[in-house]
Amino acid sequence: MIRFVGDISLNDSYNILYKNNINPFSDLEEVLFDSDLVVGNLECLAEGSEGENLLKAPRLKTEVDTLNMLKYMNLGLALLAHNHIYDNLKDGFIKTINKLDELNIKYIGAGLSPEQAKTPYIGNFQNTSIAIFNYVTHDTNPSLPENADVFLNYFDMEQVKSDIQCYRNITDVIILCLHWGGRCEGGAFPDWDQPKIARELIDLGADLIIGNHSHTIQPRDNYKGKSIYYSLGNFCFSPFMNSKIKKMRTSRSKGLIVSITLKSKIVNIFPRMVKNDGCIIIQKDKFWVIIELKTKILFSKIVMNYYIAWKIYKYVDDNIKPIFVFIFLHEGCIINKILYILCKDNRNRHIND
């Protein structure tokens, strides 16, 4: 059994939980530790001593010791092709990969050389050989300076085609993990061209596509009997960033765990939902039915079938939703101040417990 989780950010509050020896993933131990491999998008790297990448905002960071929490979730493979890879410059990247090596966690998608960044993960489970590739698209804005000596595996269709062709005949299953959809971060649906790209990748030989970046659960799709998950949402993410409360919208407090079983090919895929409750991650499968209905009715029948419907959705997402966010979720608004107090009390409750 291989399980994929969404965005992992052990920022801010997780430093406090770690120092107080609290395991925020205990509700998922039975699921995560009953796995041959757990794969997750490690989006928050260790704080470095050289400063931060000022070309990028917002930036994420954690204390290097807090990365020990990755063993609490039984992480075996960290995906590093994402737009926060250089937030803490080269020193932060090196501290992170050194910690991953110490914890015996493999990583792909970024490295100290282009060759290292492009190298896939190769494994064998249930007598099935798999290759996992990790790419990031330019529109997610990694914002690496030109002289950066940390390298990302950027998405390029011709390169991906070559990668698939190279491994198609020597592995049974090819899985593509994509950090993509920069225009639709925070959105309920993927960008207009993402389904087309995903289908082309499956036509080229991919067996499963796992997406990230939006921090929200986006629809899953099925094409030629193969699954496409446009975004798994957040697995764990602290709403306390740089000592300030950042209200976590309901849509960003949920994520998916996608489990696959193998028998010379992918024979079963099962998604389950998790929810962030004061930085404690709990199972919330009852919401999955609602998301599936939204997917089948809105995504499959309307939004991604009619360009005008997608344009209306995108206009609302770009122009109407920000007004709502400013009124209700802005740092200085009274609602956010109340939420800060409530979240702080909730955080202290977990720590004291």
Pair type for strands 106-108 and 128-136? unpaired
Domain locations in the chain? 2-306
CB 246 within 8 A of CB 252: no
Q: What is the pLDDT of residues 304-320, one digit of tens each?
A: 776 777 677 677 766 77
Q: Is the pLDDT of residue 341 over 80?
A: no
314 sits in which H/E element: helix 307-315
CA 292 to chain centre: 20
Q: What is the pLDDT of residues 204-263, one digit of tens each?
A: 999 999 999 989 888 888 899 999 999 999 999 987 655 444 544 555 778 999 999 998
What average pLDDT does the segment 59-85 reach?
96
Domain 2-306 homologous superfamily, CATH: Metallo-dependent phosphatases (3.60.21.10)
What average pLDDT does the segment 170-180 reach?
96
CA angle, 339 then 43 then 281, to 5°: 50
Q: How far apart are CA 224 and CA 233, in angstroms?
A: 24
Q: Which of 182-186, 188-192, 213-217 has the highest mean pLDDT?
A: 213-217
Nearest to 350 by CA among 74, 18, 28, 61: 18
DSSP state of 317: I
Q: Is the pLDDT of residue 65 over 50?
A: yes
SS3 of 236-270: the string is: EECCEECCEECCCCHHHHEEEEEEEEECCCEEEEE
